[in-house]
Structures are given as structure tokens and as C-alpha cells.
């Protein structure tokens, strides 16, 4: 399949110097809020909007190619099926435009089977459910055997139950077909379940690219922090530097953390809720504090805890079985341990 590469891609609407490489057969997710430029990014790759910079497929520039020659399968957010055409006719549309008459029958039959649409072939869009319309739209995009697949918020118009089913099904189909796919969304839960890598797009700027776990552990910008809803982020001051460690202070709390000297200034730290250890007795380690457990909220697989040390509020997450075994109660005093390695400079 096809590798996609963007070099300094910008346009007058929103995108600003986008540099990105998506590997062949990769399912790459772009996460961003409304107005971030996600749809514009897809339309740029498809050749539907003007832009500056260069786009390459397998190392070959495609900037000079019109949309119909780029061999891109683009599925817009609203699916845009032709209401006067049946399922079969919608799927065949791209092939007819490309004048591939000799392949229409065999390709449509193949896609009807792959997408489980054979029994619906003579229905019109108004007679289909949201999930069925979504399948038809993707089948139509794949009919021309595109080099890449571009999906614009493919689950946003579906109810939760249908969305869950379509997400699993679509992931399976993409893997089976081995097609390079760019999927944009505003929903972080889709990123957690789907993509190996994710790009964070905010106000037309690609803020950070990497595996979600890496980005959650080491977000690079305030926009990434805010978009991902990260907690335990504190502005701080350095009070001591000692070899490979530094001591920082915020709101009367001092923490020791590792320091390799790469950051010119240390102004902000992040502590993941999962990295805050709670005990009833003090532990002989660095960064141990006595605090009060103020709130407890049980989730599906973990307990969300709000802890206070003087004027500072920390959020901790414990596996549900650990929380229940400890039998923690609101209002009791506990000890909080934060390993130096868990304090991340951002």
C-alpha cells in the first residue's frame, strides 16, 4: 500500500506548516477539537482545497494531480450518499465516473460481500440505518481501489451502540484490506481503541505526534494538555539542582524529580493519576506526604480519588480491586507517595 508524506503543508484557511509521515498500511488518527483543521487536512490530501507545500505518495509528489487522479477514497462526515440511487448504484458511482465499466459488476459484488450489504443492494439511503449508510459510504470510497482512505469523523453521526459496532467492524476491514488510512476525530476514546499513532491538531498546528501512551506521559504543549484533559499539572519553580535531580516547589509542596538538563527552564510538571501511590503508613522514599482523602468516585475499572495536601489537590486513580481491598473512606488521613521518576517536566 501507500506511504503518505506531508512537507510544510499550509493553506490560507487554517493549516500551518504540517509535516507528517504516515506509513504504508498504517491506521493513523488525528485528534482535535472542532475548528482545528481536521476536515481541511483531509480535503488537502484529497486535492479538494488549495494549499502550499508538498504531498507525496510513496515518495512521488501528487500536488499537480486533480482529485480524480489521486486515487483517494474520501468519506465525509455526513456520508453524502446519493438519495436517488440504490445501495448498489451508490457503490458503483465512482467506477462509472472513472469509466471502469468492465470492472463495475465484479467490484460491486465483491464489496457487497465484504461490507455485508448484499441483502440491501436495492434499497435507497432513506431506508437504511445510520450504520448501514456508513458502510455504503465506505464501500463506495473503496470501490475505485484507492491508494489511501480518508475518514472524517466516521462515528460522529451514529448512536453509541451502533458506533461501538461500526468501530470494531471498520478497524477489522481496514486491517484486512491493508489500506493506509487517516481517521480524524474529536473523541479520545476512539484513539485509545484504534490507532497505533496519533497526531494532535489544534488551530491548524500539528502539536504532537506519537503513541497515545507516550503523549499522555509527556505532553509537549498546553494545548495538548487541555485537549487530553490531563490532571495534576502544576506550575512550579526550581529550588535546588543536585546532579541528576532537581527539587521543585509549587503552592508550598516540594517534589524531587529526575533532571537530565535538556530543558532550559523548568516551569511546569505533570504527575499521572496512576502514578500517585496511596498508603495508610508512611513509606521510606522521596516525595512522601500526609494528606486527606476528600472525594471518591468509582468508575468501571478504577477508583477516582481527590486528595488534598495543604492547599494542593491531587487526583489519583487506583485499580478498583486495590481500592476495595484498602477500604478507603472519605475524610481519612492517608500518605501519598510520588516517585521522582513519575514527576514529568513539561
* Mean pLDDT (whole number) for 272-276: 92
Distance CA 81, CA 128 (A): 11
DSSP three-state, residue 136: helix
Quickly state the pLDDT bin for 335 (edges 50, 70, 90).
very high
**Distances from the Cα of 275 to the Cα of 15, 309, 318, angstroms:** 36, 16, 9
- Is 38:207 a contact under the CB 8 Å cutoff? no
Query: How many angstroms separate the CA atoms of 294 and 203, rounded?
Result: 37
- Cα dist. 93→109, 146, 282 in Å? 14, 14, 69
Choose the weakest-confidence range: 37-51, 249-263, 296-310: 249-263
pLDDT tens digit sequence for 123-148: 999 999 888 888 899 999 998 889 99
Q: Has residue 162 got a pLDDT over 90?
A: no
Cβ atoms of 4 and 182 within 8 Å: the answer is: yes
pLDDT band, very low/low/confident/very high, at 166 (cuts 50, 70, 90)? confident
Backbone angles phi, psi at 277, to 5 degrees: -95, 135
Structure confidence at residue 235 (pLDDT): 92
Give the pLDDT confidence of 188-198 residue by residue, as tens digits: 878 877 867 99
User: Which has more confidence, 218 or 36?
Assistant: 36
- Residue 309 pLDDT: 96
With a pLDDT cut of 70, the percent of the chain lying above it is 98
pLDDT above 80: residue 97 = no
What is the rounded average pLDDT of the residues 260-287?
87
Q: What is the mean pLDDT of residues 205-226?
A: 90
Q: Using only C-alpha atoms, what is the Rg of the chain?
A: 25
Q: Of the segments 48-62, 125-139, 217-231, which one has the largest average pLDDT value?
A: 48-62
DSSP 170-230: HHHHHHHHT-EEEEEES-HHHHHHS-SEEEEEETTEEEEEE-HHHHHHS--SHHHHHHHT-
Task: Report how far residue 319's alpha carbon sits from residue 297's, in angstroms, rounded to the nearest whole number.
Answer: 12
Query: Which 3 state secondary structure label does DSSP give 149?
Result: strand
pLDDT of amino acid 301: 86
The string over 27-54, giving b where at least 16 C-beta atoms fall within 10 Å of a residue's C-beta and e elsewhere, is: bbbbbbeeebbbbbbbbbbbbbbebebe
Report the distance separating Cα 152 and Cα 182, nearest Å.
9
Per-residue pLDDT tens over the stretch 293-314: 999 999 888 999 999 999 999 9
Q: What is the pLDDT of residue 100?
A: 66
| φ/ψ of residue 316, rounded to 5 | -125, 150
At 263, the pLDDT band (50, 70, 90 cuts) reads: low
Q: Which has the closest alpha carbon to 315: 338, 288, 340, 339? A: 338
What contacts 196, CB < 8 A, 6 or more positions away?
A: 26, 27, 28, 211
Confidence of residue 319 (pLDDT cuts 50, 70, 90): very high
Q: Above 80 in pLDDT, residue 39? A: yes
Residue 78 confidence (pLDDT): 82
Q: Please check the confidence at residue 206 and state whether its pLDDT lies above 90.
A: yes
Distance from C-alpha of 121 to C-alpha of 117, rounded to nearest angstrom: 6
Amino acid at each position: 500500500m501507500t506511504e503518505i508524506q506531508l512537507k510544510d503543508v499550509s493553506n490560507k484557511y487554517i493549516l500551518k506548516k504540517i509535516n507528517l509521515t504516515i506509513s504504508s498500511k498504517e491506521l493513523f488518527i488525528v485528534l482535535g477539537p472542532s475548528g482545528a483543521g481536521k476536515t481541511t487536512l483531509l480535503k488537502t490530501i484529497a486535492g479538494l482545497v488549495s494549499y502550499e507545500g508538498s504531498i507525496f505518495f510513496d515518495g512521488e509528489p501528487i500536488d499537480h494531480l486533480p482529485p480524480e487522479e489521486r486515487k483517494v477514497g474520501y468519506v465525509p462526515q455526513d456520508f453524502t450518499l446519493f438519495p436517488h440511487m440504490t445501495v448498489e448504484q451508490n457503490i458503483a458511482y465512482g467506477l462509472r465516473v472513472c469509466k471502469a465499466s468492465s470492472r463495475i459488476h465484479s467490484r460491486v459484488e465483491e464489496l457487497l460481500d465484504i461490507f455485508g450489504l448484499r441483502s440491501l443492494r436495492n434499497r435507497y439511503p432513506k431506508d437504511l440505518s445510520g450504520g448501514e449508510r456508513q458502510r455504503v459510504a465506505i464501500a463506495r470510497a473503496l470501490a475505485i481501489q484507492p491508494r489511501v482512505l480518508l475518514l472524517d469523523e466516521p462515528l460522529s453521526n451514529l448512536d453509541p451502540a451502533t458506533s461501538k459496532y461500526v468501530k470494531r467492524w471498520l478497524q477489522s476491514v481496514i486491517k484486512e484490506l491493508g489500506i493506509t488510512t487517516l481517521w480524524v476525530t474529536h473523541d479520545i476514546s476512539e484513539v485509545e481503541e484504534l490507532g497505533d499513532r496519533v497526531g494532535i491538531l489544534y488551530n491548524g498546528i500539528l502539536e504532537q505526534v506519537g503513541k497515545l501512551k507516550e503523549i499522555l506521559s509527556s505532553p509537549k504543549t498546553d494545548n495538548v494538555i487541555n485537549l487530553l484533559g490531563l490532571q495534576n499539572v502544576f506550575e512550579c519553580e526550581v529550588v535546588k539542582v543536585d546532579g541528576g535531580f532537581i527539587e521543585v516547589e509549587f503552592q508550598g509542596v516540594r517534589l524531587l524529580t529526575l533532571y537530565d538538563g535538556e530543558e532550559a527552564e523548568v516551569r511546569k510538571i505533570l504527575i499521572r493519576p496512576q502514578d500517585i501511590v496511596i498508603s495508610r503508613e508512611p513509606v521510606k522514599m522521596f516525595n512522601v506526604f500526609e494528606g486527606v482523602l476528600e472525594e471518591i468516585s468509582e468508575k468501571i475499572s478504577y477508583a477516582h480519588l481527590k486528595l488534598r495536601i495543604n492547599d494542593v489537590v491531587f487526583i489519583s486513580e487506583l485499580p478498583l480491586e486495590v481500592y476495595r481491598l484498602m477500604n478507603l473512606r472519605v475524610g481519612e488521613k492517608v500518605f501519598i507517595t510520588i516517585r521522582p521518576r513519575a514527576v514529568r517536566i513539561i
